Amino acid sequence: MNKLSQMLVATVAMLMAGQVSADEAAVKKALAEFMPRAQVDSIKTTDIKGLYEVVAGGNIFYASEDGRYLLQGQLYDAVEKKNITENKLAEVRKAALDKVGDKNMIIFKPETSKHSVSVFTDIDCGYCRKLHSEIDQYMAQGITVRYLFYPRAGKGSESYAKAISVWCASDKQKALTAAKKGEALENKTCDNPVDQHMQLGEAFGMSGTPMIVTEKGNVLPGYVPAAQLAKILTSE
């Protein structure tokens, strides 16, 4: 069990044992003491007696009422034939992206926007470059593309430095397009949301780039052509 899971077990155990007030502010304070680096958004009962849902960042855990057992996985309703966890995760992702806000993304928006997607991108990723080379096609489909950075090589890498230089450019859209074409950028630094983007991508379970998150919070891993993406978004 990792440190996060151990902290969650201890916290939920305190909560269920009545050692922590049910008052929301008190609960959050107790959780913060156990998990200073992780934000626990909620602890709620589920439809299963004795099982509690713990939302932490972009993750969902399930805990027994005594706090002894904690698991992370997919919970299904076999009668309704639906994935309860994934439906909830979609809501969590949407809320997390809304919290980041448009001001902390690089946005390409058509005159008439029908749909919006958030795309975690790596400037040096081949399929990320392919997606951006077709940005006009996405906008022609009425799709707003909101970019977040996820340099796969990690913090301190060349890709990470490029992401910061793009963000700090006077024209972010122009700089991103140039970087995606492999053009040299002027090295710049400033306050930027790149680390926040990376942390959110990790919380979402990033396995590669690009990763597209729909307006409903559903994940589409990898490159998806504009026309196909428009159909997916229309059918959500």
Backbone angles phi, psi at 208, to 5 degrees: 175, 170
pLDDT for residue 179 = 97
Mean pLDDT for 60-66 is 76
Mean pLDDT for 160-167 is 98
Evaluate if residue 26 carries a pLDDT over 50.
no
pLDDT for residue 22 = 43
Ramachandran region, residue 38 (left: φ > 0; alpha: ψ -120 to 50; beta: rest): beta
Q: What is the pLDDT of residues 207-219, one digit of tens each?
A: 899 999 999 999 9
**Bridge partner list, 54:** 43, 61
Which tokens hold the place of 73? 């996985």
pLDDT for residue 37 = 65
What gap in Å lies between CA 173 and CA 109, rounded to an integer? 11
Question: Which one of 73, 93, 111 terminates a domain?
Answer: 73
pLDDT for residue 127 = 97
Do 211 and 130 share a domain, yes or no? Answer: yes
Q: Residue 36 — very low, low, confident or very high, per pLDDT cuts 50/70/90?
A: low
Asked if the structure places residue 193 within a domain, the reply is yes
What gap in Å lies between CA 28 and CA 152, rounded to an integer? 32
Asked if the structure places residue 198 within a domain, the reply is yes
Calculate ∠ Cα 35-41-44, nearest 5°: 110
Which tokens hold the place of 225? 């052509």
CA distances from 229 to 74, 131, 138, 186 (A): 25, 11, 8, 33
Evaluate if residue 18 carries a pLDDT over 70.
no
Do 112 and 213 share a domain, yes or no? Answer: yes
pLDDT for residue 234 = 95
Do 64 and 128 share a domain, yes or no? Answer: no
CATH number at residue 43: 3.10.450
pLDDT for residue 9 = 58
Which tokens hold the place of 181? 């074409």
Residue with the bigger pLDDT between 108 and 14: it is: 108
Q: By residue range, what is the domain housing residue 16? A: 3-73
Do 119 and 172 share a domain, yes or no? Answer: yes
CATH number at residue 148: 3.40.30.10
Per the prediction, the chain carries an average pLDDT of 85
Evaluate if residue 185 carries a pLDDT over 70.
yes
Evaluate if residue 182 carries a pLDDT over 90.
yes
Question: Which one of 23, 58, 73 terminates a domain?
Answer: 73
pLDDT for residue 40 = 73
Task: Provide the domain count of the chain.
Answer: 2
Do 117 and 18 share a domain, yes or no? Answer: no
Residue with the bigger pLDDT between 21 and 132: it is: 132
Most confident of 60-69, 84-93, 220-229: 220-229
Asked if the structure places residue 86 within a domain, the reply is no
Do 111 and 178 share a domain, yes or no? Answer: yes
